Amino acid sequence: MAPSQTAQPRRIVIAGGGTAGWMTAAALARTLGSVAQITLIESDAIGTVGVGESTIPPLVAYNRLLGIGEADFMRATQATFKLGIMFENWKTLGSKYFHSFGGTGKDHWSAGFQHFWLHGQTQGHTQSYDEYCLELKAAEAGKFAHLPDDRINYAYQLDSSLYAAFLRRMAEADGCTRSEGRITNVELNGETGDIAALMLDGNRRVEGDLFVDCTGFRALLIEGALHAGYDDWSHYLPCDGAVAIQTANVRAPVPYTRAIAHDAGWQWRIPLQHRGGNGIVYCSRYMDQNAALERLLSTIEGQTLTEPNLIRFTTGARRRQWHRNCVAIGLSSGFMEPLESTSIHLIQRAVLRLVRMLPAGRPSLRDIAEFNDQQFTDMEQIRDFLILHYKATERQDSPFWRHCAAIELPDTLAHKIELFRETGRVFRRNEELFAENSWVQVMMGQGIAPQSYHPVAAKLKSEELAYLLSSLRENVARTVDGLPPHGAYVAHYCGVKADQAA
């Protein structure tokens, strides 16, 4: 028996623009073509949060998947390259460590490189773990270039508003229709409980078969109309406020983001080609909004270009991110503070997952359940990685950090920490976002030292171990020496004017 298909093109309505809305529209329009009628509704009168400026490597693959030329994209978004995140003051005041993209050293199939490095430490090879990571050393040196065979792993630091505008042009060229207007009501089907249409100002009505909620924290469709529920994770991640501001550049852009801990949260610095992105994340129990703003303004570099953007949030996840005929993407699906630059990534994961699970007719309940399970798992795993930064610390110098020290860990994270502490091992589950090397760098950076290592590391003879470690360090150093300065490379590769980024 042949499968049944709907005869008419499916009507997909995206509520809200910004990064989430236009990432969704661009992917659907490019993938589906004339198979679906795609409409995006947004209002110029409603602003977007627009602070997701720092990304992680999967965005490189996302852009390639959509056929986006990298240099054109970077020029349009004034982007720079990113090799990782520099964490300052997290373990102790004055301490630093780097969470890089890519790998460190050379793994064996039975054990990660950290086991060989740990064995080497007992044999007099006392060089830092950092010396074996190309991306880390290139970032420290302020260098970057594309290498053959994708040997250097990177992401982007970009202007998210410009990225949304870039994707809008692409989506509209592929057939997406934008409708200007404010959503005044969500009309439900009285029989099924599904969303039937969106009412816009001016008494306009937009019908659809599938609706995508990209309305940000307001979550007008998924929560306002459908009451999908929200899991509050603020008992794990207590920060609930942020202030963002843009500044003029005062130095060449470095190929990394800075995350600088303070006594009630942390600050970010993100260098773009044309300006800098700055912000402070804080816990209102220990720092009020005025104090946070004053702290931010007293520590930024360069002339301010915008008024402060004041943001309040509750960390957590929507319990059902696909409910009935509505899918939440972006901030409407939940929020994780931007400590590990995962905001745009979560949009990307949801968009690609939706494309893979698009129904031909009425959505399958099994598809919906699978989507929700995968999305929630993604967010829980990212949540655990963020908690690690706050919990594994020696800081006791303020009430906020003493509060973080008392956080009761989820069982999943407690197991991961103790397993690494006891054995040096890290296991990933269900296509988990953060790789083994990410967990190793952050756990050791936060002061968690393994008490043992895999016995395969001791298999190498002393001269073999010495040769392995020295050759890996030398290869990293030699490659970094051959790289050009990051600012000069950006200016040559995708700069608008060379003197802006050199």
Q: How far is 338 from 277, CA to CA, in rounded Å? A: 13
Q: How far is 169 from 91, CA to CA, in rounded Å? A: 44
Contact at 8 Å (CB) between 246 and 277? yes
Among the listed residues 274, 278, 275, 411, the one whose alpha carbon sits nearest the alpha carbon of residue 338: 278
For residue 430, the model assigns a pLDDT of 78
For residue 500, the model assigns a pLDDT of 43
Among the listed residues 189, 144, 172, the one whose alpha carbon sits nearest the alpha carbon of residue 362: 189
Q: How far is 169 from 162, CA to CA, in rounded Å? A: 11
User: Token pair for residue 498?
Assistant: 């060379």
Phi, psi of 448 (to 5 degrees): -90, 110
Angle, CA 228 vertex, CA 226 and CA 229 arms, to 5°: 135
- Residue 240, CB half-sphere, CA atoms under 13 Å: how many? 15
Radius of gyration of the chain (CA): 24
Spell out the residues 6+ positions from residue 347 whose beta carbon is closer than 8 angstroms to its own: 19, 20, 23, 24, 329, 330
CA dihedral (172, 175, 180, 183) positive or negative: negative
Q: How far is 486 from 81, CA to CA, in rounded Å? A: 8
Q: Sheet of 265-271: strands edge to edge?
A: 96-100, 84-88, 257-262, 265-271, 276-282, 241-247, 309-312
Q: How far is 357 from 359, CA to CA, in rounded Å? A: 6
User: Token pair for residue 125?
Assistant: 């090879």
**How many of the other CB atoms lie within 10 Å of CB of 348?**
25
DSSP letter for each residue of 310-322: EEE---EEES-SE
Pairing mode of beta strands 265-271, 257-262: antiparallel
Phi, psi of 166 (to 5 degrees): -60, -45
Q: How far is 36 from 28, CA to CA, in rounded Å? A: 8
Contact at 8 Å (CB) between 318 and 222? yes
DSSP letter for each residue of 103-154: --S--BTTB-HHHHHHHHHHTT----GGGG-HHHHHHHHTB----GGG-S--
Question: Residue-wise pLDDT tens for the chain (502 aa)?
Answer: 445 554 455 899 999 999 999 999 999 999 998 899 999 999 987 766 656 699 999 999 999 999 999 999 999 999 999 999 999 999 999 999 999 998 999 999 999 999 999 999 999 999 999 999 999 999 999 999 999 988 999 999 999 999 999 999 999 999 999 999 999 999 999 999 999 999 999 899 999 999 999 999 999 999 999 999 999 999 999 999 999 999 999 999 999 999 999 999 999 999 999 999 999 999 999 999 999 999 999 999 999 999 999 999 999 999 999 999 999 999 999 999 999 999 999 999 999 999 999 987 788 899 999 999 999 999 999 999 999 999 999 999 999 999 999 999 999 999 999 999 999 999 988 789 999 999 999 999 999 999 999 999 999 999 999 999 999 999 999 999 999 999 999 999 998 754 443 3
Contact at 8 Å (CB) between 261 and 87? yes
For residue 49, the model assigns a pLDDT of 61
Q: How far is 172 from 166, CA to CA, in rounded Å? A: 10
Q: Domains along the chain?
A: 10-80+158-233+315-378 (3.50.50.60), 101-148+382-481 (no CATH), 241-312 (no CATH)
Q: Does the pTM of the predicted model rise above 0.75?
A: yes
